[in-house]
């Protein structure tokens, strides 16, 4: 279940000067972040500040306009894209490079985004079999093991609409794990859930953190961020205003904008 190599001090993810605009809307002005192998970064900040866009750029779902992303996978090979170079050359980022970046991470979405017409097992197997072209029997064995682990083996032939939101999100997490990514990305994984279903999902994410998975988590759950994150970063206006140890930063923020944001939430 856990990433194959033990956590080291090496940075698994390095982002420098990441920029992204949608038309005239400059959403990411300049994002810098690093996440060491086995560490968990929580991104917090007001709605519309660019947190989801950061995750989507990391996962190649959006193409950044500037800056650099580097992910060092389990085999120690670096996948990097220099978006400045592509923009300066006036050329689109090659699809192959984006595909290589996408292969390094897996995203867990706020609204689960399961395929509605596929069963739970088919949802989990789709990426590894179709995209990664791994042997079906091996993928199925691993998928069944993962579903057992999260208590959903008896739902393997069910369709998403037959599951609660919490169960769907646990399938979403299993689907991400089945891709064996270097990096797990969570986009507000509990914000669509009824309050009584939040606990199970947060517990599972905490277990994965304890096992050494490297993660970036966008969350409004400050208590959860405090417990699970090695570092928390406050995003506002498309940049990281402040980052640090969760216990220190959430209790004693240095910037006025962070203080105002936390004050509204606590
Ligand atoms: P957050 O996750 O912090 O709430 P987002 O990254 O979702 O913020 O959004 C930041 C800004 O980018 C918002 O103004 C949003 O409307 C805009 N935005 C995000 N995605 C798109 C898109 N695909 N097209 C146009 N604008 C977008």
Q: How far is the CA of 54 from the centre of ligand 1 (A)?
A: 10
Q: How confident is the model at residue 73 (pLDDT cuts 50, 70, 90)?
A: confident
Q: How far is the CA of 77 from the centre of ligand 1 (A)?
A: 31
Query: What are the residue ranges of helices labelled H in 127-221?
Result: 136-149, 165-178, 195-210
| C-alpha distances out from residue 216 to 59, 104, 169, 244, Å | 11, 13, 17, 14
Q: How far is the CA of 190 from the centre of ligand 1 (A)?
A: 19
ipTM over 0.95: yes
Helix (H, G, I), strand (E, B) or coil at 1: coil
Distance CA 75, CA 12 (A): 11
Residue 159, both tokens: 């369709």
**Average pLDDT along the chain:** 93
* Ligand 1 atom closest to residue 23's alpha carbon, by position in its atom list: 25
Q: Which residues are CB-contacts of 182 (< 8 A; sequence separation ≥ 6)?
A: 3, 12, 71, 72, 73, 74, 104, 105, 214
Q: Which residues are CB-contacts of 76 (< 8 A; sequence separation ≥ 6)?
A: none
Distance CA 67, CA 15 (A): 8
Protein residue with least CA distance to atom 24, ligand 1: 22
pTM score? 0.94
Tens of pLDDT, residues 165-215? 999 999 999 999 999 999 999 999 999 999 998 999 999 999 999 999 999
Tens of pLDDT, residues 1-54? 333 344 445 899 999 999 999 999 999 999 999 999 999 999 999 999 999 999
């Amino acid at each position: 279940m856990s990433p194959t190599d033990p956590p080291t001090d090496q940075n698994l993810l390095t982002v420098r000067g990441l920029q992204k605009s949608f038309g005239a809307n400059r959403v990411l002005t300049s994002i810098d972040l690093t996440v060491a192998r086995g560490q968990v970064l929580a991104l917090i900040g007001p709605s519309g500040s660019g947190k989801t866009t950061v995750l989507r750029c990391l996962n190649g779902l959006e193409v950044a306009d500037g800056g650099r992303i580097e992910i060092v996978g389990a085999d120690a090979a670096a996948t990097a894209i220099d978006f400045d170079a592509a923009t300066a050359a006036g050329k689109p980022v090659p699809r192959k490079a984006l595909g290589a970046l996408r292969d390094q991470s897996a995203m867990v979405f706020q609204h689960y985004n399961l395929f509605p017409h596929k069963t739970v097992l088919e949802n989990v197997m789709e990426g590894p079999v179709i995209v990664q072209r791994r042997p079906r029997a091996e993928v199925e064995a691993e998928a069944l093991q993962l579903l057992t682990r999260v208590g959903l083996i008896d739902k393997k032939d069910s369709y998403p609409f037959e599951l609660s939101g919490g169960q769907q999100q646990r399938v979403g997490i299993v689907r991400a794990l089945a891709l064996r990514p270097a990096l797990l990305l969570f986009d507000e994984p509990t914000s669509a859930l009824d309050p009584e279903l939040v606990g199970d999902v947060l517990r599972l994410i905490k277990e994965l953190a304890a096992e050494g998975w490297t993660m970036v988590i966008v969350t409004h759950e400050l208590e959860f961020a405090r417990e699970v994150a090695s570092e928390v970063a406050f995003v506002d206006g498309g940049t990281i205003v402040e980052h640090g140890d969760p216990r220190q930063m959430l209790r004693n923020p240095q910037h006025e904008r962070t203080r105002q944001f936390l004050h509204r939430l606590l």
